[in-house]
Structures are given as structure tokens and as C-alpha cells.
Amino acid sequence: MGLYKTSAIVMKRNDLGESDRIVTFFSPGRGKIRATAKGVRKLTSRFSGKLETFSCVNLLVAEGRNLDVISQAELRRSFSHIREDLARIAAASYLLELIYNFTEEGGGDGGLYRLLFGGLAHLDEGGEIFLGLRSFEAKLSLHLGYFPALHRCASCLESRRISGGGYFSPALGGLLCAKCASRDDRSLFLGRASLEAIHFLAKTPFSRIGRLRLGLVEEDQLRNSLRIHLESRMEKRMMGPDFLESHVC
């Protein structure tokens, strides 16, 4: 058992005993880390203000038999503007929940860490919330190898039949042409503009997604398809979406 250093983003906090807390982080090299912050709830704690949810920190951690123990924490970026707005809190919580559900302890992934950092920075800097969330979902699908097949029908493999759009089947992981749409009664229609938007949001840096203009129909199509697509790739339904809907994003 030894010490290790890592940067990390605070995902979750649970009170432990009178003054401690178990903090779950996401780190580039070790994936999810659960560690105890001793005395963190005391007013005089040396961790005071450093281990808030969404914060990015540098940690020195002592490996423990059951749980690791945080030895030092240095705040790198607090993402404090997110906490000033309920809609941004809901959106950032959704990003954390997605990462939480798709990662394991010990499963490091630098690309996923940069994606989470980028998504939080977008929300912290006042970036457009709806596009930020959809872009995060599309980039996450791409990064994890779940990006839906959108160029040809997932059933008959005809590309010509979906040139104007198609029926997106989360279960089959792609689009179905009109002829094959009945193969999945949960499929949702995605028009050509929505398909182009999904590609744009997956490939474009967060700093440039704000120039995308969507109609209400496309917004609806994107909101429903990307989230259900990711949900169908994880075992359980997320808590986030309902919370999100009640806060207008």
C-alpha cells in the first residue's frame, strides 16, 4: 500500500460518521476512485471548499485496505458558475451520471476524462445547455464505440433508403428505413437535419457547437434519440433525465 497522485473530478459525496465523507472521483489514470476525506465536514477542515461536486482537483491519496484516504487536495478548477444556476447543476449532474454509469473503479480512460472536463467547462463558461448535453451524449457514444449507424439501414443495409432520414432504433443501434421500421416498435423518426446535427455535435469541439441552429422538431428528435440510445447501452435507467426535464433542458 502506498501513495499516489492524480488529477480528478468530484462526482459524488456521501457523509460518513460525524465529520468524514466518502468522495467518489473520476480520474484519467484510475477511472472511478472512492476515498475517505477525514474531518472534511469540520469548519476548520484543510479540505474546506476543495471537494465540492464538479470540482477538478489534484489529489495525493493513500491506498487503504478497504477505502483509500485523501492525504492532500489542491483545487485546480472549481467550475463554480455551474453551482449558481439550477439548470446548469441539473445538466452537469447528468454528465456525471453518464460517466459514473459507463465506468468502473480501476478503469482509467484519459479521453473520457478530457471529455468530462470539456463538458463541465462548457457549462461553467455559459455555453448553451441543450447543445452541450446533446454534444456530450454524441461524443460519449463515439468515444465508447457506441456511435449509432446512421448511413444505412441497420436491418436491410440499404443506404439509399435513408437518405432523407429514417427510424432510429436504440435496440438495434442504428437507423431503419421505412420498410424495416416495423422491426422495432420503439423506433423514433430522425429527419435528415437531425442526422446531420448528431454528426456535427459528435465531431465539433464544445467551443464551436453554439453556431448550430435547430428547429423544435429537431430538438425533440435529438433529445429523445441520443439519451435512449445511451440508456439502452447501460443496464439501468438513469435518474438524470427526469430531473433534467423538470429543469427545462
Exposed, middle or buried, 6 (CB in 10 Å: 0-12/13-18/19+)?
middle
Report the nearest approach of Zn ion to the CB of residue 152 (Å). 8
Count of beta carbons in the 10 Å neighbourhood of residue 135: 31
**Which listed residue (10, 177, 202, 209) binds Zn ion by CB under 5 A?**
177
Report the nearest approach of Zn ion to the CB of residue 142 (Å). 24
Residue that the C-alpha cell 448511413 belongs to: 151
Q: Which one, 65 or 160, has the nearer CB to Zn ion?
A: 160
- Amino acid symbol at 234: M
Cell numbers given for 183: 422491426
Interface segment toward Zn ion; rule CB under 5 A; list 18-26, 110-118, 180-188, 220-228? 180-188
Report the nearest approach of Zn ion to the CB of residue 158 (Å). 5
* Contact call for residue 172 and Zn ion (CB under 5 A): no
Cell numbers given for 84: 449558481
Buried b (16+ CB within 10 A) or exposed e, 209-244: beebebeeebeebbbebbbbbbbebeeeebebbeeb
Q: Which one, 56 or 175, has the nearer CB to Zn ion?
A: 175
| Pairing of β 3-16 and β 31-37 | unpaired
Report the nearest approach of Zn ion to the CB of residue 175 (Å). 9
* Residues 143-162: x where in contact with Zn ion by CB under 5 A, - otherwise, as a string: ----------x-xx------
* Residues 94-133: x where in contact with Zn ion by CB under 5 A, - otherwise, as a string: ----------------------------------------
Q: Which residues bind Zn ion (CB under 5 A)?
A: 153, 155-156, 177, 180
